[in-house]
Amino acid sequence: MAKKRNDNERGEHELAIIMGADDWQEAMKYAVFKFTDVSQVISAEEGEPDGRDWELIVKLHDGRFGWLSAGCDYSGWGCQESGHSGIVNTIEEASEQLNKMV
């Protein structure tokens, strides 16, 4: 029988996947926090060039929450790209900030 992962293990697994993905590494150039500041991935939405931005909400080691929204055009990262991020006190505030980016 497979061992059931708890929320913390699931968050660590998601963080490892994100850290290894080229698009997420490029998006993180716009983050005011680093991967090493992250204790748990709350939400991660994969983006696409010339489409939806890469959006991330994380819990930081200090108990606050980081949010990130970053994207690029059809030619990929390095040409027409942009991003915004911040650190807030609640998940709700992080979600509100991402909603403002839409």
DSSP sequence for the chain: -PPPPPHHHHHHHHHHHHHH-HHHHHHGGG-SS-GGGEEEEEEEE---TTSSPEEEEEEETTS-EEEEEEEEETTEEEEEEEEEEEEESSHHHHHHHHHHH-
Considering its fold, how many domains does the chain have in total? 1
Per the confidence metrics, is the pTM higher than 0.85?
Answer: no
For residue 45, tell me if it sits in a domain: yes
The range of the structural domain enclosing residue 49 comes to: 7-101
Q: What is the pLDDT of residues 22-59, one digit of tens each?
A: 899 999 999 999 989 999 999 999 999 999 999 999 99
For residue 2, tell me if it sits in a domain: no
For residue 13, tell me if it sits in a domain: yes
For residue 24, tell me if it sits in a domain: yes
For residue 90, tell me if it sits in a domain: yes
